[in-house]
Structure 1
Amino acid sequence: MRLLAFLLTCLALSMPVAAEIVRLGDRFYSIDLPANPKGAPLILALHGGGGDPDQFASSSGFGRDATNAGYAVIFPAGSGRRGERLLTWNSGYCCGYAARWNVDDIAFLEKVVEDAAARFGVAGDRVYLTGMSNGSMMAETFAALNPALVRAVAGVAGTMDVARYPVKGRVPALIIHGTADQNVPYDGGVGSSSLSRTDFASVDAVVRAFLRPWGGALATATRRIDRRDDGTSVAMTDYRKAGDIVLRLITVEGGGHQWPGGRKARMTEGKTKEIDANTEILRFFALFP
C-alpha cells in the first residue's frame, strides 16, 4: 500500500495541471500549466478567425504536448460582439470584428503575459508564440513588434501584414503553409474560400521580412519528406546564420488550410499526414531555450 501511495504521488507530481480560465476585463485566457509551473517558459497559442481558445486547444491538442514538454501554454481569446463566440484578432489587414474596430491586441497580449507571470509564476521573459490562420498573423505581428521579448515564433497557415508591420529585430521564425491553401494563398492575394476579401501577403514576403534583420551571408538547405500516400509532400528549408538556424520554412506541397496533425474532420483534400505541427513547433522552440 505504501508503494502504491508513493507511485500515485509521483504520478500526480509529473502530470500537467488542468486548464484554468482567467478573466481580464471583458476578455479572457485559458492556461495549461506543466507539473512545475514556476519559471516555466510560456507559449501563447492563438486561435484562428472565427474560433476560440477551447476550440483551438481541442482541435490542435497543443496544450497537452507543450505542457508535457515543460511549457506553460496560454490560449488567449480574440474579440467579437458581446456574447459572440466567433472571435478574431486585429493583425492589420485582417480579420473581422477585431480589425474593423481596431482592437489593440498587441496591448492585450502584453497584458496576458504580465498577468500570467504574476499570477502563476511562469517566465514572462521567456515567451514563444504560435497560431493558426488569423492567429498566425497575430502571432507573427506580435513577434515582429516585440523582438526583445519573444524567443521564437511559429505561424501556421497565416501571413502577417508585412506592408504595415516591419520586423523590428531578430526573431527566429518557423513558417508552416500549404501550397493549396484556398483561405490564405501561399503566393498571396485573395483566397477563393476566405471569408475575408483581404489581399494577403505571400509566404515569401513573410520569410523575407523575418530574414531581413539577420543581414546577409545566410546559408540554406532543403530536405524533402514524402512518406505517406496522402497527396501531399513537404519541403523543409532551413536558413542559417553562422551555422545557427534563424528561420525554418515548411512548405506542404498540396496542403490545404489546416494545422498538420490537428483535427479538421470536414477537410477531404489537402490534409497532410507527412508532419505534425505540434512536434515541429516544439522541436523548433527547443532550439531557442
Structure 2
Amino acid sequence: MDRKKIGERSYVLVSPDEAPASALLLFFHGSQQSGNVARNFTARTFDDLTARGVAVAYPNGVANHFNDARLDYDEKTRKLGIDDVGFTRDIVAELGLSTVFAAGFSNGGQMVLRLLHDAPGLLSGAATIAASLPTDDNLLPDLGTPVPTPLLMIHGTGDRIVPYEGGRAGTANQRRGTVRSAVAAAEYFAQANGSAEHSVTEADGFRMDRWDGGAPVQLITVEGMGHLVPAPHDVDERLGPGTRAFAAADVIADFFEL
C-alpha cells in the first residue's frame, strides 16, 4: 500500500505483487470517510482484487467528501469548488493504465455518477453502492452527457439515508436533496446506454434487474439491507442491517470481467 500525492491531493494505491497491473479500479469513499477508512469499511475486499491483476486506487476527498453531481449539497468541497473530476483524470494519467473502472459508496457512488456525465469515455465500467441518481431538480446544471458505459448498481431496500424508493436523502444533519428510486436511476442509464432489453430474476432476498443492449446495466436489490457495502464483516448498526451473502467487490469484479 502506498500513499500517493498529486499536488495538494492524495490517494491510496494498492498494487499487485507479482506482475504489473492490467487495469485500474478507483474506489470512492462515502461521506466523512477517507481512502483508508473505506478500505476497512469494505473489509479490504477491494484490496483483494490485486490478485486478479488490478491496481486499486482510493482517492481522498477534500474534508472527507467528493464534489458530486447533487445540487443540494452543503459541504466544504462544494463551497470551495473542488474539481474532483479533474483530480480523477490526474490519477488516471499518473498511473497510465488504459482500462479504468470506478466504484463508489454513497457520496463516492454519487461521484461515480458525476464521472459518467462529466468525464464521458474515461471509464470502461462503473459501479455504485447505496447511491441513486438525483432527481432533475437536484442535479447540477450544465452536466455533460453520458456515453454508453456498463453500470452495476447495488442498493438495499432498508437504506434510510438513500431511500431505495426515492425521495429525500441524507440525515438530520446533512442536506442532500431528493433522489430517484433505484429502479428509475438504473432505467435512466439503460436509456443512455441504449440498453432496452429488460429482464428480472429473483432469489431468496435478492432481485436482479438487467438491461441488455448497447452496454449492460444491472441493479442488484438486497432485501432489508441498510446503507453499507456488502462485505464479510459487521458494521455500525446505525447504518442498518448488512448481508454476508456476497461481497460487493467480487460481484463488481465479475461484472467488469476482471
Residues 1:53 and 2:25 are matched in the alignment: no
Query: Aligned residues: percent identity?
Result: 25
With over 3 angstroms needed to count, the CA separation of the structure-2 counterparts of 1:136 and 1:63, relative to structure 1, is same
Q: What corresponds to 1:209 in structure 2?
A: 188
The separation in 2 between residues aligned to 1:188 and 1:272, in whole angstroms, is 22
Supply the distance in 1 between the matched residues of 2:170 and 2:26 (Cα, whole angstroms): 29
* C-alpha separation in 2, matches of 1:198 and 1:66: 32
Alpha-carbon shift at residue 162 of structure 1 (Å) = 5.8
SS in 2 for 1:257: coil
Equivalent position SS for 2:167:
coil
Distance change in 2, residues 1:207/1:166 (3 Å): farther
Distance in 1 of aligned mates of 2:17 and 2:79: 40
What TM-score, normalized by structure 1, do the two folds share?
0.79
Shift of 1:284: 0.5
Per-residue deviation, 1:50: 0.2
- Given residue 100 of structure 1, which amino acid in structure 2 is its aligned partner? K
Of 107, 113, 123, which residue of structure 2 is paired with 1:140? 113
Are residues 167 and 195 of structure 1, via their aligned partners in 2, closer, same or farther at CA, if it must alter by over 3 Å? farther
Tell me which of 98, 106, 109 is aligned to 2:88. 109
- The amino acid of 2:94's aligned partner reads D
Q: Is 1:44 matched up with 2:26?
A: yes
In the TM superposition, residue 156 of structure 1 has moved relative to its aligned partner by 0.2
Could you tell me how far 1:246 is from its partner in structure 2? Answer: 0.6
Q: Is the 8 A contact 2:168 2:177 kept in 1?
A: yes
Deviates more, 1:62-71 or 1:252-261: 62-71
Higher normalized contact order (CA 8 Å, seq sep 6+, divided by chain length): 2
Matched letter for residue 88 of structure 1: H
Cα drift, residue 209 of structure 1: 2.3
Matched, 1:267 2:231: no
> What aligned pairs does 1:19-38 form with structure 2 within 5 A after superposition?
19-36=1-18, 38=20
1:171 aligns with 2:155: no
> In structure 2, what residue type is equivalent to 1:20?
D
Displacement of 1:95 in angstroms is: 5.8
- Matches for 1:179-190 after TM superposition, within 5 Å: 179-190=157-168
- Between the aligned partners of 1:281 and 1:192, the Cα distance in structure 2 is 25
The Cα shift of 1:34 comes to: 1.1
1:190: Cα distance to partner?
Answer: 1.9
* Structure number, greater radius of gyration: 1
> What is the count of residue pairs matched by the alignment?
248
Which residue matches 2:67?
Answer: 90
Aligned-residue RMSD, C-alpha: 2.1
* 1:264 shift after superposition: 4.6
Task: Output one character per residue of 1:140-176: Cα deviation in whole Å (capped at 9) or x when no partner.
Answer: 2112333322111000001244633454210110000
Distance 2:170 2:84 in 1: 27
Task: State the distance in 2 between where 1:115 and 1:192 align.
Answer: 34
Deviations 1:46-84 (A, max 9, x none): 11010001010122113332111111000010001xxxx
CA shift, 1:26, in A, is 1.4
Query: Are 1:79 and 2:43 an aligned pair?
Result: no
> What amino acid does structure 2 have at the position aligned with 1:73?
V
Contact kept in structure 1, 2:156 and 2:221, CA below 8 Å: yes
Moved more, 197-206 or 131-140: 197-206
Tell me the distance in 1 between the aligned counterparts of 2:111 and 2:48: 22
What is the TM-score with the length of structure 2 in the denominator? Answer: 0.87
Whether the 8 Å CA contact 1:95–1:134 is kept in 2: the answer is no
Query: Gaps spanning 5+ residues in structure 1: where?
Result: 1-18, 81-86, 118-122, 227-232
Which residue identity is paired with 1:238?
A: R
Deviations 1:264-288, CA, capped at 9 Å, x for gaps: 53227421233321111111011xx
The 3-state SS of whatever aligns with 2:146 is coil
